[in-house]
Amino acid sequence: MRLKRDRIPAFDKYPFDLSVVRNLNSLDLHPKVTYIVGENGMGKSTLMESIAVSWGFNPEGGTMNFSFSTRATHSDLYDYIQLVKGTQRPRDGFFFRAESYYNFATTIDELDSGPSLGRPIKDSYGGKSLHEQSHGESFFATFVHRFGGQGLYILDEPEAALSPLRQMAMLARIHELVQQKSQFIIATHSPILMAYPDSTIFNLTTDGIEVQALEDTDHYLIMKEFMNNKEKMIQQLFNEAESDN
């Protein structure tokens, strides 16, 4: 993907004032798995949304067929990026947004309760309403049952309701689908999900975008330090909190 910088009206207004946009020329997305990581507020979701909408997905998530909207909050960044597409078009696709997944699940139930147009939509998600499962089970049902081969899958914080064990299962599912010629673009805070070996990690910072190895990301380093020195770090955190008060 590349940013059409010459068309941007001004870099001092949202979303163009985000550091990720101000410092962006192009991103060479990995043909298998691309990770978008960074601290909160760096523009990960805005960037993911622009890629998804530019491709043709609904801003609130789902497949190409979904057009529901509960509140139009997406930016117009998608108008200013160009996707360079390969000769092989994806046969399947899905834009997963943890923050609007509830609305997505509600839309499926509403459509299935209306006039029958054939096979219920929920059958593509395991045959059970996504609302009749725990949050984590519902997420995983989509990953397992709805995702297929030769697909483009754009996932914004898919780990939000997944336990560490489920995150490892998700990593295995990603590998299974990559073997079937699928491509993933994932925004995540999870070092477990970032561990896919044949991938690129783009770290968004206030200075722009840098490529990092998993072991060099703050997500990995902080988690490792915490688990290896739990008592020391907890005491330090508590002391800082007490001094602030």
Low-confidence ranges of the chain (pLDDT < 50): none
pLDDT tens by residue, 105-115:
888 888 888 87
| 91 C-beta neighbours (distance < 10 Å), count | 13
According to the model, what pLDDT value does residue 160 have? 92
According to the model, what pLDDT value does residue 191 have? 97
- CA–chain centroid gap for 129, Å, is 23
According to the model, what pLDDT value does residue 208 have? 87
Contact 94, 66 (CB under 8 A): no
Question: How far is it, in rounded angstroms, from Cα 43 to Cα 231?
Answer: 33
According to the model, what pLDDT value does residue 11 have? 93
According to the model, what pLDDT value does residue 162 have? 94
DSSP secondary structure, 89-130, as one string: --SEEEEEEGGGHHHHHHHHHHHHHSS--SS-GGGGGTSS-G
Contact 213, 201 (CB under 8 A): yes
Question: How far is it, in rounded angstroms, from Cα 121 to Cα 190?
Answer: 30
Structure tokens at 106: 């509600």
Does this model's pTM top 0.95? My answer is: no
Q: How far is CA 84 from CA 6, 121, 216, in A?
A: 18, 31, 29
pLDDT tens by residue, 154-168:
999 999 999 999 999
According to the model, what pLDDT value does residue 120 have? 87
Question: How far is it, in rounded angstroms, from Cα 136 to Cα 73?
Answer: 25
Domains within the chain, CATH numbers bracketed: 2-212 (3.40.50), 216-245 (no CATH)
According to the model, what pLDDT value does residue 117 have? 66
Structure tokens at 150: 């030769």
